[in-house]
Amino acid sequence: MALSRARRSERRLDYWPGFVDALSTLVLSIIFILTVFVLGQFFLSQEVTGKDKALEQLNAKIAQLNDLLSLEKLSKLNLDDQVAQLRAGLAAAEGERDRVKGLYDGLAGAGDAQGRANELNKALDSEKQVSARALAQIEVLNQQISALRRQLAALEEALEASEKRDKESQGRIADLGQRLNVALAQRVQELSRYRSEFFGRLRAILGNRPDIRIVGDRFVFQSEVFFDSGKADLLPEGSAEIDKIAAALLELEKQIPPEIAWVMRVDGHTDVRPISSPLFKSNYELSAARAIAVVRYLVSKGVSPQRLVAAAFGEFQPIDTDRTEEAYRRNRRIELKLTER
């Protein structure tokens, strides 16, 4: 019966790692797509916010110029009315002058007619001066209106240029997102390939031992391989197993390019039973001490500390929820996971 269970375990080991590798790759791809989407949204929102502010300023300037133009147009209409009135007065004065002149011609000897003609001539000269000033004001207004129209044209050109730059920026953001997608996808594929090679090498080195299993994307070691019950001091036989892992890690460090951010995470787990030890107040502390002990030993064998992470889970990540000695033994474990930093 024990032989039958061992064969069933071997069959599970044949299919489960590949399935979990595919699932982890899918999860990493989804995370990558979400990251790219968030980055794209962030850069796009920054770019659009800047353009919206510039557009609001341009619109405010245009509104001010439109108000000024309306006022100038109103002033011009008032001046046109004044000019029309002045011209009407001038025409009336000229008619009066002609009438007086006719009387003057008929009464050449009359002194009163001569005086009246002189007064009318003076009034006519005064009206002409007023008309000339009004025409000068109208010319100034026309020049101001022309200047305002030139400013409006310049603002429209600036607005069109801003919209063009906004479209170009959106195109650059889209191109950046595509290139980032490609780069991240390549990094995920490379790390997945190295993870598969590393696990294959470890599988060949460690052999088919019942106390060492592959669960998903992790190598799982029963705590008894490395430690005595309730302790965090490495056993000699556990150190020998870690020597094999250290050799594989050193070879892996040489193969993976430095631009790929990867780490080997060492997870410590305990069973659910409370610990009764003067050295550790909780299962958290025991699991942390065991993970740190493995990491320190790997560092002593030459593995770069920047590539190692110690994590403690205590009793809160069981792989078997039964309350039996077999379940307790399965839950007391050290897990190794090659992952991104």
Q: What is the mean pLDDT of residues 7-17?
A: 57
- pLDDT for 170 equals 75
Q: Quick check: 224 and 332 in contact, CB under 8 A?
A: yes
Helices (H) and strands (E) in the chain, counts: 6, 5
Q: What is the mean pLDDT of residues 121-140?
A: 75
Q: What is the mean pLDDT of residues 114-120?
A: 68
Q: Quick check: 292 and 310 in contact, CB under 8 A?
A: yes
User: Does residue 107 carry a pLDDT above 60?
Assistant: no
| DSSP for residue 283 | H
CATH hierarchy code of domain 44-185: 1.10.287
Task: Extract the tokens encoding 247.
Answer: 């050799």
Tally of CB atoms within 10 A around 114: 14
Q: How far apart are CA 118 and CA 126, in angstroms?
A: 12
- pLDDT for 205 equals 62
Q: How far apart are CA 101 and CA 76, in angstroms?
A: 36
- pLDDT for 206 equals 59
- What lies within 8 Å, CB to CB, of 225 at 6+ separation is 211, 212, 235, 237, 238, 241, 334
Classify 176 in phi/psi space as left (phi over 0), alpha (psi -120 to 50) or beta. Answer: alpha
Residue type, 116: R
User: Does residue 301 carry a pLDDT above 90?
Assistant: yes
Confidence at 335, pLDDT banded by 50, 70, 90: very high
Q: Quick check: 206 and 241 in contact, CB under 8 A?
A: yes
- What lies within 8 Å, CB to CB, of 236 at 6+ separation is none
pLDDT of 40-85, one tens digit each?
788 777 777 777 777 788 788 788 877 877 777 777 777 777 777 7
Task: Extract the tokens encoding 89.
Answer: 């007065």
Confidence at 258, pLDDT banded by 50, 70, 90: confident
Q: Are strands 262-269 and 218-222 parallel, antiparallel or unpaired?
A: unpaired
CA triplet 124, 130, 131: central angle to 5 degrees?
Answer: 85
- pLDDT for 89 equals 73
Instruction: Say how far residue 327 (Cα) sits from the centre of its chain.
Output: 46
Confidence at 153, pLDDT banded by 50, 70, 90: confident
Q: Quick check: 187 and 260 in contact, CB under 8 A?
A: yes
- What lies within 8 Å, CB to CB, of 307 at 6+ separation is 249, 253, 262, 263, 264
Q: Quick check: 288 and 296 in contact, CB under 8 A?
A: no
- pLDDT for 217 equals 74
Give the three-state DSSP class for 64: helix
User: Does residue 332 carry a pLDDT above 70?
Assistant: yes
The fold for domain 208-340 equals 60s Ribosomal Protein L30; Chain: A; (3.30.1330)
User: Does residue 304 carry a pLDDT above 90?
Assistant: yes
**Domain extents in the chain:** 44-185, 208-340
Report the percent of the chain where pLDDT is more than 70. Answer: 77
Give the three-state DSSP class for 303: coil
Give the three-state DSSP class for 265: strand
- pLDDT for 257 equals 80
User: Does residue 178 carry a pLDDT above 80?
Assistant: no
- pLDDT for 242 equals 92
**More confident site: 135 or 1:** 135
User: Does residue 222 carry a pLDDT above 80?
Assistant: yes
3-7, 148-152, 259-263: range with lowest mean pLDDT: 3-7
- pLDDT for 282 equals 95
Q: Quick check: 40 and 177 in contact, CB under 8 A?
A: yes
Mean pLDDT computed over every residue of the chain: 79
CA triplet 330, 314, 23: central angle to 5 degrees?
Answer: 65
Closest to 330 in 3D by CA, of 194, 248, 213? 213
Confidence at 155, pLDDT banded by 50, 70, 90: confident
- pLDDT for 214 equals 77
Confidence at 232, pLDDT banded by 50, 70, 90: very high
Confidence at 266, pLDDT banded by 50, 70, 90: very high
153-167, 173-187, 197-211, 259-273: range with lowest mean pLDDT: 173-187
